[in-house]
Structure 1
Amino acid sequence: MAVDIFENLFVLELANNHWGKLERGLKIIDDFAAVVKANGVHASIKLQFRNVDDFIHRDYRDAEDVRYIKKTLATQMPWDELRAMVDRVREHGMVAMVTPFDEASVDKCVEFGVEILKIASSDIRDKTLLRKIASTGLPVIASSGGAETHHLDALVNFFTSRKIPFALNHCVSLYPSEDGDVELNQIDFLKARYPDITIGLSTHEQYNWHDSVQMAYAKGARTFERHVDIDYEGVPVSAYCTKPEQADVWFKAFNKAKEMCGGPSTVKRVVPKAEREYLDALVRGVYVKRDLPVGHVLTDDDVYLAVPLLKGQISTREFESGEVLKLPLAADEPVLLGDIDAAYVNDPEVRRLVPDRGLERRLPDLKVAVNQ
């Protein structure tokens, strides 16, 4: 089931780019909120929650050779500061979203009023965490990086069978990703396999903020995720992170793609009046070859087809041969809808279109003899 909260949602992944500093985290939120507002997009800022004291085994807390442990400890923040960041996201009118990496963090998400939970690619088979997340009833987005198809089948079924709003992102977990790694055709695969949920794109590209979002949107992706960061206090920005000026390009490319893709793909578009009038000007009208009396039954030999098509005149789209004249017509006169009896005369669409279709009729100039 597709859910409105997921529709065209940009997920700005803050991760640990605040480096454990509240001031930096709030500035990232503020800077990106300005770009979101300027482009009028639907966006969330996503944080990561870990109950660090229990998340890392006490015997390994000094294992500085393990990058994940070292970084997690170095960027640890107290819960009140994380709550302040969630509140700042909401103050800007954005969606508060969190990836909880343990069960205690899920409880904190509920306590803080987080609106969407995210499942990291590494955790889509974590049965304990999945059960805890499902118990909240909150909307969930998951990323598919590294997963086998049967793992995704089980994940989608786990949440949809519980009637929990769920979206799935195509994701390649390479940091950073080259253009050739992105595999956008997987969006088609996921949409075909899971037609009743929202499919999105989580990407870690390092060169382009324009092309992939346009292609992904055209393929039907409706959530879009990237890591974000800012140039601030001399801290280097990772190659896979998006800065505010790059997000501006990203959002503008999305808005252009949305404009060019137009309405939904599930129904036929409404043809605009200007397009119809243009095509009507290329259609041939029906004219009589010779004088014909009232009651004459028209045949192909009685008429010729020529441009322009005039207002009220039948065209090659309507003429069937067998129409009966209600009025006499002189040679080269147009056959008007009101001049004939035919089954299609009472067709509502014909009666709606024909009177205003084509050019205004030009009456022939009268030649008056003048005595010299």
Structure 2
Amino acid sequence: MKQIKFGNREIGNYREPYIIAEIGANHNGNMDLAKEMIISAKEAGADCVKFQSWTPKSLISKEEYQNNQVYNDSKKKHFGSLKEMVTKYALTDEQHRELKSFCDKNNIEFASSPFSVEEARLLNDIGVSFFKIASMDINYIDFLKEVASFKKPMIISTGMATIAEIETAVNACKEAGNDQIVLLHCISIYPPEYEDIHLNNISMLRNTFNMPIGFSDHTIGTAIPLASAALGACVIEKHFTLDKDLPGWDHQVSANPMELKIICEESKNIAKSLGNYQRTVSEAEELKKEKFRRSLVVKRDLKKGDILKKEDLTAKRPGTFIAPDKMEYVLGRELNTDISEDAILKWENLY
């Protein structure tokens, strides 16, 4: 499997997951809020904060603006027209550079999803470690090839995509000379029904494409992203907000700082606990055997010369002498000394 690094961090299945706090447009066009969110994500333990890079012209057509389409069922969280929201939430080139510099100073990775080649070029110019391709663009093959041509790692979300579409996207990137690809299992509903999440797709994608597989989460809470860690997800992307009641598209399905901290801390613990397929007994468990296992004990007073029978023996703690699974080597043996009731039987007690 191809070695992939985001900055200095190596990415791989069943390792400590790389946690992306998806700020997206949750900064609401406010740079002070964006910086506050970056600091909060860092304090929660996230490896990266990710934004979204578009202009009012690069993402949505004039006709769509005229229809004033609503991209979220939570209408009460909207303000004004679609064009007003897209315009307010768009980051300028200078704001991109300012946020990247701020992230560098605070030792957290800056990333963004470009929605046009021009924005991808901007992100490449300011030095992102990887590109994130949104689910909506998995079938935008020319765009994928353009981004792949930068020869930087690519994260591709698979929401709404069939296996055939995922395969086509992967092959397009490889044809452009880039095989540094991480796929994210994703359900592009905000939030999805639990029965529609299909976390087992993480394993399916891993087996199908033989590459690092992560999870882009749109559920509410922490349970599902943590479950993805138990399935070996290499990346966990979770929408992030400081206040779920703020106006905007994604605040309601985002993790707050406490939830993000839980995801960051517990996913790392889960990764450590996965271990490997080889059955091992730790040193701590070996020591515990002496206290918690049993040894053979005589059930009544016995005399020297008595022949041991099964009804003469039971097993009790501690486990430091003759183990009960060695009873067959004891039965029929002659005692070389008297032994009192409830005494632990020792090999030296036998001829």
**3-state DSSP of counterpart to 1:45:** strand
Partner of 2:295: 284
Could you tell me which runs of 5 or more consecutive residues in structure 1 were left unpaired when the two chains were aligned: 293-298, 341-372
Matches within 5 A, 1:308-323: 308=316, 313-318=321-326, 321=329
Partner of 2:52: 48
**3-state DSSP of counterpart to 1:14:** strand
Which of these residues, 103, 124, 130, is aligned with residue 116 of structure 1?
Answer: 130
**Cα 1:306–1:276, aligned 2, differ >3 Å: closer, same or farther?**
farther
- Residues in 1 aligned to 2:58 and 2:316: alpha-carbon distance in whole angstroms: 82
Task: Check the 8 A contact 1:230/1:237 in 2, yes or no.
Answer: no
How far off its partner does 1:198 sit?
2.6
Could you tell me which runs of 5 or more consecutive residues in structure 2 were left unpaired when the two chains were aligned: 72-81
Partner of 2:26: 17
Q: TM-score, normalised by structure 1?
A: 0.69
Superposed CA deviations along residues 347-370 of structure 1, whole A, max 9, x for unmatched, are xxxxxxxxxxxxxxxxxxxxxxxx
- Residues in 2 aligned to 1:217 and 1:172: alpha-carbon distance in whole angstroms: 16
- Residues in 1 aligned to 2:277 and 2:174: alpha-carbon distance in whole angstroms: 22
- Residues in 1 aligned to 2:197 and 2:55: alpha-carbon distance in whole angstroms: 32
Residue 282 of structure 2 aligns to which amino acid in structure 1? V
Residue 15 of structure 1 aligns to which amino acid in structure 2? G
Residue 277 of structure 1 aligns to which amino acid in structure 2? K
Partner of 1:345: none
Superposed CA deviations along residues 127-177 of structure 1, whole A, max 9, x for unmatched, are 222222222222221111110012223334555785633222221111343
Do structure 1's residue 220 and structure 2's residue 232 form an aligned pair?
Answer: yes
Alignment size in residue pairs: 322
**Cα 1:156–1:62, aligned 2, differ >3 Å: closer, same or farther?**
closer
**Cα 1:181–1:98, aligned 2, differ >3 Å: closer, same or farther?**
same
Superposed CA deviations along residues 310-342 of structure 1, whole A, max 9, x for unmatched, are 67633234566499x9xx9325483438989xx
**3-state DSSP of counterpart to 2:152:** coil
Q: CA RMSD in A?
A: 4.1
- Residues in 1 aligned to 2:173 and 2:309: alpha-carbon distance in whole angstroms: 69
Residue 228 of structure 2 aligns to which amino acid in structure 1? A
Q: TM-score, normalised by structure 2?
A: 0.72
Task: Check the 8 A contact 1:176/1:239 in 2, yes or no.
Answer: no
- Residues in 2 aligned to 1:152 and 1:279: alpha-carbon distance in whole angstroms: 54
**Cα 1:107–1:228, aligned 2, differ >3 Å: closer, same or farther?**
same
- Residues in 2 aligned to 1:268 and 1:339: alpha-carbon distance in whole angstroms: 35
Do structure 1's residue 209 and structure 2's residue 221 form an aligned pair?
Answer: yes
Do structure 1's residue 175 and structure 2's residue 184 form an aligned pair?
Answer: no
Task: Check the 8 A contact 1:213/1:254 in 2, yes or no.
Answer: no
Do structure 1's residue 100 and structure 2's residue 114 form an aligned pair?
Answer: yes
- Residues in 1 aligned to 2:91 and 2:280: alpha-carbon distance in whole angstroms: 51
- Residues in 2 aligned to 1:314 and 1:9: alpha-carbon distance in whole angstroms: 49
Superposed CA deviations along residues 66-91 of structure 1, whole A, max 9, x for unmatched, are 54872444433321111111221222
Do structure 1's residue 330 and structure 2's residue 329 form an aligned pair?
Answer: no
**3-state DSSP of counterpart to 2:67:** coil
Higher relative contact order (Cα pairs below 8 Å, separated by 6+ residues): 2
Superposed CA deviations along residues 265-296 of structure 1, whole A, max 9, x for unmatched, are 4343543525752576433338797646xxxx
Task: Check the 8 A contact 2:290/2:318 in 1, yes or no.
Answer: no
Residue 315 of structure 2 aligns to which amino acid in structure 1? V
**3-state DSSP of counterpart to 2:324:** coil
**Cα 1:189–1:240, aligned 2, differ >3 Å: closer, same or farther?**
farther
Partner of 1:264: 275
